[in-house]
Structure 1
């Protein structure tokens, strides 16, 4: 009897005591066509993943770290709603959901001075790892309240969680290995901040050969509006495509389910 052996069902061998079949399962294409910029897009949902970036308390909650240093996070509500609307239908279509949150080591041993300075430019002790007023949670620390997904978004048991400690989610993390083991070509980008961690991760994804699609209404930023405009411009002209979550949703099959495998 042959048994599947692999990190995911999408990347597995068939193995028995006497035989190994190296042929990977091939998913039937599940195309979705929708309006995008600079051109209309067709993606294969069977080879697509949804990446949700930094939708965590420290970046989105009024008691989180960004709010504590005076930034206005009140505009995050529509982003939460847009991402929440995507989760059930994309999961039903078999699209993996990956939560990419900033979560530093408690000892900050892998954070160089330039990263620490970006979050505490005057070295006042209010940066990464500093306890927040009120909750006392250490800022941007893994496994803390600060790194938890913000209320209004509910990870599922089958979702994947990746902790990062740079603007780009690919640097010194297993994100690339996970996407490749899921046999993903196209990545849908959502989250905050659009011009910072989202763009840095998207840029690296494009450089690694992934198809990058920024869902404009499912990202946000605390930066000035011109930063968002520049981000959208650069994604369209240099790194990939932009579209709306609503356009994508309208293109999903009426009846979705995990794409069947072709022997």
Structure 2
């Protein structure tokens, strides 16, 4: 095991070993954070997700320099929606109003589909594009652990701590955090790298409510600068 680095967090400081830590980038894809994506077409303000790009990019750069595994997730489905549940399944019902499977035009005019894999809609936003060596998890439910190889990938690398970024806090981030905690991973959610949309059905208070639940029983919350500083300390010690 490597050295443990302690950072300020809520409800108390938390430590992590960079050699056993991965950064989770949850669903920073065009459907959620870009103009012309699913949320934008549904009339929701995607600006809060767009504002995550810069702090997440800074964190990823520091994490890559320190040798951490970067794990991207994408919520996406088969073109025929065969993996979205039956017509009466809650997941299918709730996504109908968001136009799941709808054929749309990507910004370059090419044909795309809402929440369908292999399309512009489900690609990671360009400024956060994965690089060789990163893990990319395709998921068809909110949790990145549900029917995916994520747990096996993490255990093969000896990972025991997950640092969470992405969107949205109360849905895909929290769902994945809960499943991670059930599997005994230590979860650190970065408050400045996660967010909610602002709309009638997604009040900003959902973000704070999820952070409170995570702090209470599922993990810890922190700021990205605390993690970046710890990684810089690790690099300095190794030189």
Q: 1:198 aligns with which of 173, 183, 197?
A: 173
| 2:159 aligned residue | 184
Tell me the secondary structure at the aligned position of residue 200 of structure 1.
helix
Contact 1:62/1:74 (8 A) holds in 2: no
- 2:27: which partner in 1? 54
2:100 aligns with one of 122, 128, 136: 128
Check the 8 A contact 2:32/2:49 in 1, yes or no.
no
The 1:171/1:30 distance shift into structure 2, 3 A limit, reads same
Gaps of 5+ in 1: 1-27
Extract unaligned runs of 5+ from structure 2: none
Q: 1:227 aligns with which of 206, 210, 214?
A: 206
Secondary structure, aligned partner of 2:115: coil
Partners of 2:216 and 2:210 in 1: how far apart? Answer: 10
State whether residues 34 and 50 of structure 2, in contact with CA within 8 Å, keep that contact through their aligned partners in structure 1. Answer: no
2:46 aligned partner: 73
Could you tell me which residue of structure 1 aligns to residue 13 of structure 2?
A: 40
Task: Provide Cα deviations, 1:145-200, integer angstroms capped at 9, x if missing partner.
Answer: 01111122132111011100101111111111111111100001110011101100
Q: CA deviation at 1:235?
A: 0.3
Aligned residues: 227
Which one has a larger percent helix, Structure 1 or Structure 2? 2
Q: Greater CA radius of gyration, 1 or 2?
A: 1
Going from structure 1 to structure 2, the CA distance change for 1:255 and 1:32 (only over 3 Å counts) comes to closer
Aligned counterpart in structure 1 of residue 221 of structure 2, from 239, 242, 249: 242
- The aligned counterpart of 2:138 is 163
TM-score w.r.t. length of structure 1 = 0.82
Structure 1 stretches (4+) deviating beyond 4 angstroms? none
Partner Cα separation in structure 2 for residue 167 and residue 147 of structure 1: 14
- Supply the distance in 1 between the matched residues of 2:39 and 2:162 (Cα, whole angstroms): 27
1:189-245 deviations in Å (ceiling 9; x for gaps): 110011101100111100111101101100111121211111010000010000010
CA contact (8 A) 1:68 1:132 kept: no
Contact 1:53–1:100 (8 Å) recurs in 2: yes
TM-score, structure 2 length as denominator?
0.90
